[in-house]
Amino acid sequence: MTGKPSITRCPKCGYEPNVVSDTCPKCGAVLEKKCGACGFSNSVEKNYCDQCGELLSPGNRKDRPQPPLPQKPPQEPPRRLEIQDIQDTVSEKYASFRRHTTPQKPPPPRQPEKPQETPAVSRPDMTVKLPASERPGPAPRSAPPPLPGAAGTAHILKKLTGPAMSLTVLAVMSVIGYFVLAPFLPKLRLTLTAKEYLANMAQGKYEQAYEQLSTNSKTICSLDDYLAYNREYYAKAPPWQFRDVQIFTMTKQAAMIRYQLKEGGGPWKTDYLSFVKENNRWARPYVWMLFQPIDEAISRQDFTQALFLAQKLYLTDPLDPRASGYLCASEFFMALYDRAAESCSRTIAAAAAYPVGYTGTELYWFNLYYADSLRYLERNRAALDEYEKMLKLPDLTVEQQCPIFLNRADVYVNIRDYEKALADVMRAGAVCIQGPSGDDAAKRMAYMSGAASEQAIDFAKRSRLQPGAPPIRVLRRRQLEDLRTRLGPKGAKYLPTDTWLAMHLSGPEYRVYLRQEALSPATRKRETADIFVFFVNLWTSKGKVEKAPSIDPALLRHRSDNRPEPGRRY
């Protein structure tokens, strides 16, 4: 399990920047990197805590706070329009009208229109009982005459209800339109930003393009370096143009743009461009200045510096597969296998999704680092799956098969499947032809075939009963010297002689015996006994003592005689 991520914080103002820098962008004080495990404050360039030794790993980009937006001066609160209830407004206006004007005589009520005369019909015979459906209903009543002032009130209500209804409909349509268009707004802003950046680069407006870079990119690359590099590069390159800018993939904090690029008179080809989101805007990460320093650090085996630069690269452009690739290699060489497994897995997945130009050899090593990291973490089943996938890679050479078979055999040994381990060792012996790999394959073949008894005996002689105790060979010499002293010259014939024996059990496992033969004072016959019995696994270099005599504690103490016996190498 990995520890808590470190936090870069200003000790003066407490600001936690998301910018790779040594000084605080707010107050100018020197930043400190606080260890997530013990809380000790370290320098920003440190990779390990000076107090507890834990890795000062950066947190996930999505969990790190964005730099604060520039604060705006407080604005005057917006004015609110209070609308009185319609009925109250009508009532007050009508009452005011009654108070300030002379009441006029209301107009006479309109006479109801005279109904049209219907043709006369014959009166039915009342002696015949009509069905209910044919019985005449009651005569229709005329509507009552309108009350005085009712026409004015209806006019006012209609006048006020029209604008209110229009505003309500407009508000509802606005809300619906927002929810419909909201998911497309970030994509639209991203597409427009990408087109603007490409247009600035194509037209040679490098100053405007530099303003579109992310904050971390500006920290890594100054404006002068950016201008010098682009002017030198594009002075040698033909004019180019672009089209069909589309979003290839998009997350909350990063995105990849795909577009068509044409250089000079060449054909149109697909190219990609990455962006990161900061301060609620899309910015272009620029990481070209970091590739060469990381390659140089790895070539001189300065893996600490390579890891530091790879972390800076990943913080600047987390979506670029090359950032994860450099993390994968540097973390693997630093033996940070838990983090290397994560970075290598991310690199393999990103390389399959984003064509960044990795060669087959580079992808082979990323896959091997990932499988070996799983093996060192004892995630044996997952490691076996990855080795199986690697054997199916296209254009796999004989030299590339050698470490796959040897490392997969190591996994089989860990799960005690010695039959499959022996088969892989035999395959490795056929493909590991020369160099250290060939010697290693031959040595492990001897372990598995039972031809390494001498190595098992030597392993037992060099083992110790407890930390700080002398090796078994030294301890046994002390026992014999102590016994010789107690027997004296006359009892020298009772001094035992030792014999080391080894028996092959299975796979790389052996049982080693330290057997003594001595003249018994009671029977006057020579008797044999196993003094020490060891279980040894030569492949894993592990063993245990299965039988040991009682040892005088004085013999286990450190002495100046912890040296090889004259004329014999151990």
Check residues 389 and 25 and name the one with the higher pLDDT: 389
Question: How far apart (Å, rounded) are the C-alpha atoms in residues 373 and 344?
Answer: 9
pLDDT of residue 323: 92
Residue 4 has pLDDT above 90, yes or no: no
Percentage of the residues of the chain whose pLDDT score is greater than 90? 47
Check residues 158 and 568 and name the one with the higher pLDDT: 158
Residue 1 has pLDDT above 50, yes or no: no
Provide CB contacts within 8 A for 201, sequence distance 6+: 209, 230
pLDDT of residue 291: 92
Check residues 276 and 520 and name the one with the higher pLDDT: 276
Question: How far apart (Å, rounded) are the C-alpha atoms in residues 408 and 420?
Answer: 9
Residue 31 has pLDDT above 50, yes or no: yes
Q: Which residues pair with 240 in a beta bridge?
A: 263
Average pLDDT over the chain, rounded to an integer: 81
Highest mean pLDDT among 89-93, 168-172, 497-501: 497-501
Residue 223 has pLDDT above 90, yes or no: yes
Residue 103 has pLDDT above 70, yes or no: no
Q: Which residues pair with 259 in a beta bridge?
A: 271
Question: How far apart (Å, rounded) are the C-alpha atoms in residues 181 and 412?
Answer: 56
Residue 90 has pLDDT above 70, yes or no: no
pLDDT of residue 115: 45
Helices (H), ranges, 182-299: 185-202, 206-211, 215-220, 223-236, 288-299
Indicate the range of 207-221, 416-430, 547-561 predicted with least confidence.
547-561
Question: How far apart (Å, rounded) are the C-alpha atoms in residues 43 and 527?
Answer: 69
Residue 562 has pLDDT above 50, yes or no: yes
Indicate the range of 4-8, 37-41, 439-443 predicted with least confidence.
4-8
**pLDDT tens, 358-396?**
888 999 999 999 999 999 999 999 999 999 999 999 889
Provide CB contacts within 8 A for 166, sequence distance 6+: none
Percentage of the residues of the chain whose pLDDT score is greater than 70? 74
Residue 520 has pLDDT above 90, yes or no: no
pLDDT of residue 29: 85
Check residues 18 and 527 and name the one with the higher pLDDT: 527
Q: H or E element: which one contains 501?
A: strand 497-506
Q: Which residues pair with 42 in a beta bridge?
A: 33
**pLDDT tens, 294-346?**
999 999 999 999 999 999 999 999 888 899 999 999 999 999 999 999 999 99
Domains delineated in the chain: 1-59 (no CATH), 185-283 (3.10.450.100), 299-450 (1.25.40.10), 455-556 (no CATH)
Indicate the range of 119-133, 229-243, 361-375, 420-434 predicted with least confidence.
119-133
Highest mean pLDDT among 61-65, 98-102, 357-361: 357-361
DSSP 119: P
Q: H or E element: which one contains 427?
A: helix 418-431
Report helix, strand or coil for 564.
Answer: coil
Residue 448 has pLDDT above 90, yes or no: yes
Residue 122: pLDDT band by 50, 70, 90 thresholds? very low
